[in-house]
Amino acid sequence: MVGIKEYFEYFENNASEWIIGGYDASGYNYPTATHRVRIVSKFISGLNKKGLKIADLGCGGGDLAFRLGRDGHNVLGIDQSRKMIEIAENNLKKLPKKFRARIQFLRGEIGRKMMFGKKFDVVTAMGLIGYLPDDKIFFQIAGDLLKPNGYLLVSARNRLFNMKSVGFRTEKEVKNKNALKLIKELGDLYNQVSLKDANRFVRNLKEIISGFPENVAFNSKSARSPLEKRGLSTPLLKTEPRQTTPEELKKSASKCGFKYKAYYGVHPHLLDPALNKMLPPQLFNKISDSLTAFEHLPISLAWSSVFIGVFQKNTKNNI
């Protein structure tokens, strides 16, 4: 990653903890990575093509690559962290041989131009963009790797969520006089949902509520994550990764020769985020998961702290 030594050292030193945290659904944690894998797999499966060549940038421990390999695609996972690649390769050995043959891992400096003897049908990058200095660098890298009309799936930290979280980020946006701009973009997301999606939301909510035990008591042990049970934790980064709004990302993509196709909201919040730890472990997150019924709609970007953008490389890229 270009000139950002802190991020490289962070992931090198905290690889295992980071991977566990991304998929942890215990205590008060939300398995954001699990949902990203699900959404990406579903979208690519919807292309109705097997054997696609896919590059996964910032592949981490390889979970997305494994899922796409099982789906019948050929995947190259790339990460700058030696430790991440080591974990991914060790996990690869545990897969059946027929899947292993489709998946490779490579250590590479993602912030620099990467040249391969082949182009890819799809490039995925879950969470990477916020650790690069700007969007242009990211889209240049993706554009170099993709075939014309190839698809790019990228997840980003949703800056719009700063207006819902009501915390230090909200205060910062107000102080920097950005709040009105964000509120305007939020307002444009509110459109009527279909009866089909509304019914799916109601069904989700009913299933979640009926499946949650009554009279559940707060239990400090059940609130502990796997890392905490092992006496570990994931240290905070000194420099917070960049956030972006859906409109900002769309404009950056357009300037670099990509056209917008779709957005998906990830890690929804049905209630005020501050309520999470006031409720029994996982209740807040499970209730919020009812909103996955709307994850494919623009409105989902109003309450999600992360989003996935789908872009398609133009036949003639203007990067």
CATH number, domain at 48? 3.40.50.150
The answer as to whether 140 is a domain residue is yes
pLDDT at 268: 97
- Bridge partners, 308 (sequence order): 155, 264
Full residue range of the structural domain in which residue 300 is found: 5-313
Amino acid at 18: W
* 83 located within any domain: yes
Q: Which residue has the tokens 């099982």?
A: 70
Give the per-residue pLDDT at 16: 86
Residue 319 lies in a domain: no
What is the distance between the alpha carbons of residues 52 and 16, in angstroms, rounded to a whole number? 29
In a domain, 29, yes or no: yes
Residue 18 lies in a domain: yes
pLDDT value, residue 245: 98
For the chain, list residues with pLDDT below 50: 1-3, 318-319
> 275, 271, 266: which is closest to 300 by C-alpha?
266
Task: Answer yes or no: is 318 within a domain.
Answer: no
pLDDT for 20 equals: 85
Task: Report the distance separating Cα 316 and Cα 319, nearest Å.
Answer: 9
Q: pLDDT digit string (tens) for 27-80?
A: 889 999 999 999 999 999 999 999 999 999 999 999 999 999 999 999 999 999
Q: What is the CA radius of gyration of the chain?
A: 20
Could you give the number of structural domains in the chain?
Answer: 1
pLDDT value of residue 2: 42
Which tens digit of pLDDT belongs to each residue from 203-213? 999 998 888 77
Q: Determine the distance from the C-alpha atom of residue 165 to the mean position of all C-alpha atoms in its chain, rounded to a whole number.
A: 18
Q: Which amino acid is at 57?
A: L
